[in-house]
C-alpha cells in the first residue's frame, strides 16, 4: 500500500487557501491543523470533545488529552500543543464555538451539528486535498508531515515516537519522508 503524500510548505499553504474559500472553512482548517500540527490520527480528531481541548474556565489547554477511548490501541496519551496550534484553537473557538457549557460536546461538528465518525472525517479530509489538487494526499498526510518535520528538525527519535503515540521506533521511522531537497541540504552540512 502506498503511503500518504507529505505536503511541501507551498502545497500546505495552497491547501489552506482552498479551505478558506469553503462553507465550513473554520472547522476544516482546524481539522487540518490538528493533523499537521499535533500529528493526530483521524479517529482521534473525530473523537475530541471540548474538555479534551479546553480547561474548565474555557482557556485552551497546553496539552491536548487523547482519551483511551479514541486513541489507537486504547492507550491514552497527552499531546503537547505548540503555540501556533493553540492560536489556531483560539481562532476556531472565536469563529465557531459559542457555548462552552456542555464540555462533552464534540470539538468538531458536521453540518448536521453531530459528531464526525472517523470514516466521515477521513472522507472530508480527502475532499479537501482533492480540491487543492493534491493527488496522493489523505487523512494520514498531516500525521506524516508532523513526524517528518520533527525528524528533519533534529528532534530525538524517542520524543517523536512518544508524540506520535507509537510503541515501536520502527513504526515511527516508516512515517518519515525523505526528498531530494532534504538530502541535498544534509550533505551541504559537511
Return averaged pLDDT per consecutive 10 residues of the chain, 190 residues in all: 85 97 95 96 95 92 91 87 95 76 87 94 96 94 90 87 82 75 77
C-alpha angle 33/34/37, rounded to 5°? 65
Q: How far apart are CA 56 and CA 138, in angstroms?
A: 34
Q: Which of 147, 125, 129, 123 is nearest to 11 (CA)?
A: 129
Please list, in sequence order, all residues whose beta carbon lies within 8 angstroms of the beta carbon of residue 23, skipping any fewer than 6 positions away: none
Q: For residue 112, give the C-alpha cell.
A: 448536521
- What pLDDT, on a 0 to 100 scale, did the predictor assign at position 181? 74
Tally: H helices and E strands in the chain: 10, 2
Tell me how far CA of residue 190 lies from CA of 43, 110, 145, 150, 187, in angstroms.
42, 51, 26, 21, 6
**Model pTM score:** 0.88
Please list, in sequence order, all residues whose beta carbon lies within 8 angstroms of the beta carbon of residue 186, skipping any fewer than 6 positions away: none
- What pLDDT, on a 0 to 100 scale, did the predictor assign at position 91? 92
- What pLDDT, on a 0 to 100 scale, did the predictor assign at position 1? 58
Amino acid at each position: 500500500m502506498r503511503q500518504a503524500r507529505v505536503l511541501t510548505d507551498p502545497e500546505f499553504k495552497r491547501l489552506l487557501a482552498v479551505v478558506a474559500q469553503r462553507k465550513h472553512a473554520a472547522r476544516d482548517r482546524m481539522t487540518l491543523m490538528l493533523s499537521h500540527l499535533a500529528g493526530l490520527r483521524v479517529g482521534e480528531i473525530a473523537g475530541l470533545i471540548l474538555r479534551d481541548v479546553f480547561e474548565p474556565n474555557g482557556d485552551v489547554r497546553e496539552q491536548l488529552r487523547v482519551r483511551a477511548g479514541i486513541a489507537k490501541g486504547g492507550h491514552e496519551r497527552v499531546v503537547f500543543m505548540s503555540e501556533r496550534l493553540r492560536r489556531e484553537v483560539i481562532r476556531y473557538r472565536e469563529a465557531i464555538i459559542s457555548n462552552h457549557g456542555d464540555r462533552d460536546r464534540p470539538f468538531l461538528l458536521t453540518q448536521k451539528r453531530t459528531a464526525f465518525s472517523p470514516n466521515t472525517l477521513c472522507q472530508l479530509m480527502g475532499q479537501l486535498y482533492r480540491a487543492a489538487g493534491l493527488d496522493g494526499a489523505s487523512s494520514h498526510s498531516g500525521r506524516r508531515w508532523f513526524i517528518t518535520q520533527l525528524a528533519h528538525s533534529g528532534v530525538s527519535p524517542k520524543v517523536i515516537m512518544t508524540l506520535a503515540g507509537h510503541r515501536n521506533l520502527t513504526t515511527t521511522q516508516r512515517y518519515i519522508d525523505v526528498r531530494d531537497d532534504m538530502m541535498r541540504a544534509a550533505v551541504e552540512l559537511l
